[in-house]
Structure formats: C-alpha cells, structure tokens
Amino acid sequence: MLAPVTRPPGSFALRCSRALLSPWSRLSLLAVLLLSAATTVVLYEPQRLLAAGWPPQMSGAGAVVLFGLAYGLCTAAFVPRPILNLAAGALFGTQAGLVSAVAGTILGAGISFTLGRVLGQDALRPLLRGRWLKAADGQLSRHGFRSMLAIRLFPGVPFAAANYCAAVSRMGYAPFLLATGLGSIPNTAAYVIAGSEAGSPTSPAFLISMGFIVVSGLTAAIVAWRKRHTLRSAGPSGTGAVRGPGAEAERAPAGVGAGAARRP
C-alpha cells in the first residue's frame, strides 16, 4: 500500500508569499497606489492653496516644514510643481519658500524613486525593447547624474515621469537625489519669486522670474526636438546605422571591385 504524499508544512503560505511578492504583483500595487494618489488630488484640489492660503493657525518654521512635507507627498501624487512653487512663494516669501520647495522636491523625488525601484523595476525592465526606451535607459544608467541634472535644469520631461524612468533604470540613489536638488533650484526659484511678487506684476523681480521661466521652457522644447531628431535619424535607415562589409563593397567603385576580383 502506497503511503500518502505529505506536503511540507507552510508550502501554501510560501506559494502565496511568492505570488504576492512577484514583480507583476508589486507593479499592480504600484498602479493602485498611484491611482489612489491621483484620485485624492482630484478630490481635495491642493491648488486651492493659491486662492485660500495657508491655515492661519499654522505659522513660523513649523509651517515651512509642514509645507515641505506636504509638497513632497503632493509631487509624488502628480500635483504639478509650478503650482506648489507659486504657493510656496506666495505663502512664505522668497527665502523660506525656496527652502521649503527645494526640500519638498527632493522628498517627492525620493518617494517616487523608491516606489518605482521597489515595486516596478523588476517587472518593467524586461519590457525595455524599443529603440528610444533602450537609449533612455542606457543614458540614465551610464550617465545618471549628468542626465538627471540636464533634465532638471531644462524641465521638458514631466517631474513624475523622470522620477519613475530613473527608478526603472540602474541609476543610484545618490546621483539621482543630488542632481534633482541642484538642477531644480533655478526653475524652482523662478516660480517661488514669481509667487512672492505676484502682488506686484510690474516689479523687476517678477518680470525677470517670468522671463526666466519662458526662456527655460523654450530651451527645453528646442533640446527635446533636437534629441528626437537625433534618435529618429539613427538606426537601420539613418546615418547611425551599422554598415557591414557588403555595404562597403556596394559603395566601392566598379573598377576597384573588378580589379580585386581578377587578382590571384
């Protein structure tokens, strides 16, 4: 008589834990978190800070710190940073508003990067098959600090998209956060100054800050167009195509080929 097959204790729990911790399960959890965050933003409308202002019972350094924390959570939930930067300047002035906004920027970028790295990288990296995706991944992985610094200085790529793209790549935490902090200062300062001087739209500070915002936006558009043109021209049909020996033979003059063929 055959003995009954006994399964080791805890095998069902082990299978469940593996299923829950699989790359696609973690990616699904990330999607749920991001969808919940976006829904919360739509319902509570944090942009009302520009009209309603900060609660009067909160003031001083504590309010600046609290705003920085809220800024980080809002940016991770896809709230546009220009709105938060304007609110920081309008509520706390140029100096305190800039400190709070930059700190919130780094915090929000760190939250998004951590979520993308822990919950999304293992599932999304095998999907990097397109030419543009591979090029972006290689650029961020090999030249992380330089690439992220350029993205932050010329804000053509949405903030949240850059965070999650960097998380899927092999970029490290330190270069990502350092490049985010340094590269975000100029554009953040322009919006904070514009928010603090919004009551005087003809003041030199307001006009200079708005001019910087316009120039940086146009520069970002030009850089993005040039990069797109370079990627489009590369590849099998472009100038960057890899040519084999047959291609060189086709381009050689007929006489040279014939002479080479008659040689012993």
Owner of token pair 């082990």: 14
pLDDT at 168 over 60: yes
Residue count of the chain? 264
Contacting residues for 105 by C-beta, under 8 A, at least 6 apart = 71, 72, 75, 81, 159, 180, 181, 184, 188
CA distances from 58 to 15, 70, 88, 242 (A): 50, 13, 14, 63
Among the listed ranges 112-126, 130-144, 182-196, 215-229, which one has the minimum average pLDDT value? 130-144
pTM of the model: 0.71
Give the residue among 151, 145, 206 at the shortest CA–CA distance from 177.
145
Mean pLDDT, all residues of the chain: 76
pLDDT at 240 over 70: no
Q: Dihedral (C-alpha) 41, 198, 189, 90: value to the nearest 10 degrees?
A: -50
129 alpha carbon, distance to own chain's centre = 19
Q: Where are the domains of the chain?
A: 21-232
Q: What is the per-residue pLDDT across 43-98, written as a single tens digit (0 to 9) for each?
A: 777 666 655 666 666 678 888 998 999 899 888 888 889 989 998 998 899 999 99
Burial class (CB in 10 A: 0-12, 13-18, 19+), 195: buried
- Can you give the pLDDT at residue 249? 41
Q: Which two tokens stand for residue 231?
A: 């990627």
Owner of token pair 């001083």: 60
Q: What is the DSSP letter of 54?
A: S
Higher pLDDT among residues 238 and 157, named by residue: 157
Residue 30: strand, helix, or coil: helix
